[in-house]
Chain A
Amino acid sequence: MSDHNCNCGGNGSRHCAPGNGKMDRRSFLRKSTVLASGIAAIAASLAPLRELTDLGSVDEFLQKHYKELSPAEMEKALERIRKEVERQYGIRPHLRDLKPMDGVEFVYCLNLTRCIGCRKCVHACVAENNQSRSPEIQYIRVLKMPNGTFDMEKGDHNYAPETVPEKGFFYMPVQCHQCKNPPCVKVCPVDATWQEADGITVIDYDWCIGCRYCEAACPYFARRFNFATPSVPKEQINSDMAYLGNRPRHKGVMEKCHFCIQRTREGKYPACLEVCPTGARKFGNILDPDSEVSYILKNKRVFVLKEEVGTLPRFFYYFDV
């Protein structure tokens, strides 16, 4: 009788596996070494996944569109974001969802005679709105323009003289114009950006898919994309946050000026206006006939940028004549 049927000519189980399919010790060890090293190689090739800490939670993934959230669901989402901020930055933010106020439509006016191009608005905005410091994201771009032209091609945003203003130039800060006919909203394939009743075009950072169509559609270069994970130093985070405003963003979403929703919907002036040393910036409710912006629109010769593209901006420039 024989319990093995190999044809190696050896003497039984010493040389080859017995008939029930078991392999011998040497071949088992060798094969498992190859298998183990193969698995190690695959695991090592997936190592970059360890850096994916910015994935977002399941709750975030399952969260509904902003406009479909019930008050209870909104509170749940706010609590989730508060916890995320607390984990990441070590502070409990004052985060809330601010709705547009009744009878309010915001308008911005900027006096180009007064602007000296000091860029304080740019940096106050970055600090207020928790924009990424590195890579750098800024909502406001200040253009240095030669006197006597509005040819945007002649604008220079890299000027760095010892002091401003320079003779023969004027300075034109450009940010989101909060258009009444916004091309960025029209092109969004997922309705992640829309115009609110008070005229502010907002973005739901949890709904944005990062296709950057809106960036391409905007004629004012107002929208910015988070190509990398935004980095804000812990000690510089602004804890006064709004859901549609300055709460921290993830990698891969758009952001832009929202007229400091966390300030303006509570009656305050935006940060760029507060910091402007010359008072070139004016902001207010155009539906209030006694507001500063109403006075400017009634009494100054205002104009909008790129009027011919039909965006109907709520951002007006003017000169003191």
Chain B
Amino acid sequence: MNADAKKSLVLNGSAIVFVALAGAFLLDLWGRPVATVPIVPVAPDFTNTATVRLSAAELVRTGGDASGLDCYVCHEKGKTPVIHFGTNNLVILPKEHEDLVMRHGRNDRNDNCYNCHDADNLDMLKTRDGHKSKITESSRLCGSCHGPTYRDWEVGIHGRTSGFWDRQRGAMVRQDCTSCHDPHSPAFPAMKPGPRPNQLHPEKDVAENGKETH
């Protein structure tokens, strides 16, 4: 092999290597970073600032259908409905009120409609000491038994607040007791939790007793 042929071999060879390298770089044969786990967008429910239920006061304020609050559409004025109790001393709900869940108070000690409703005027609520209030102004009635909670609610410690912390710039919006608590079954309802933090290596996490460690 003479010098000329050798030179031509080297030059051709390097040209081929360079072209191959260029192709390899462009096609990225060394691979990209491992694809991350696709993350499902969070449902809008979890960023919604609405209260868990609609209170009677809010229903009236927003101009909703308040016909359900008018007791005398069905009941007869001046005639006190009689409450029937079962053998276990629990109220037997008439079928018109079957949608109610009666679970106010532990051991069912508050299982009597007239503990809160005014027997003489069903459109009103009545505390044990005789103070009457509208159904849309129930918080004071709740406070007649739940004193410490009512005190906290009055100063803004119990229950939801929204709007402005700086009162000079805007109002702090408060919610009624019944915006969060069903008066007939006041324990705060259990909720579906939002999605947990996304795990970068799900299969590894499962291997470690189903629990991520970092």
Q: Does B48 contact A (CB under 8 A)?
A: yes
Note all chain B residues with C-beta closer than 8 A to A75.
none
Q: A274-B49, A275-B47 are in contact. Are A267 and B196 (CB under 8 A)?
A: no
A136 pairs with B188, CB closer than 8 A? no
Chain B 139-197 interface residues, beta-carbon cutoff 8 Å to A: 152, 155-166, 168-170, 175, 180, 188, 190-197
Which residues on A are within 8 Å of B, measured CB to CB? 30-31, 33-34, 37-38, 40-41, 43-45, 47, 101, 111, 116-120, 122-124, 126-127, 133-136, 138, 141, 156-165, 233, 264, 266-269, 273-279, 282-285, 291-292, 295-296, 300, 320
B23 pairs with A136, CB closer than 8 A? no
A156 pairs with B160, CB closer than 8 A? no
Partner of A284, one of B163, B165, B211: B165
Bound-complex Cα distance A101 to B160 (A): 25
Which residues on B are within 8 Å of A, measured CB to CB? 8, 11-12, 14-16, 18-19, 21-26, 28, 36, 38-39, 41-42, 46-49, 51-52, 152, 155-166, 168-170, 175, 180, 188, 190-200, 205, 211-212
Partner of B41, one of A116, A233, A285, A291: A233
A285 pairs with B14, CB closer than 8 A? no
Bound-complex Cα distance A281 to B8 (A): 79
Q: A31-B11, A276-B160 are in contact. Are A47 and B28 (CB under 8 A)?
A: yes
Shortest distance between the CB of A27 and any CB in chain B (Å) = 9
B188 pairs with A269, CB closer than 8 A? no
8 A-B pairs with least C-beta separation: A267-B166, A267-B169, A119-B194, A44-B25, A37-B18, A163-B190, A279-B160, A41-B21
A45 pairs with B196, CB closer than 8 A? no
A38 pairs with B14, CB closer than 8 A? yes
Bound-complex Cα distance A41 to B28 (A): 12
Note all chain B residues with C-beta closer than 8 A to A120.
46-47, 194
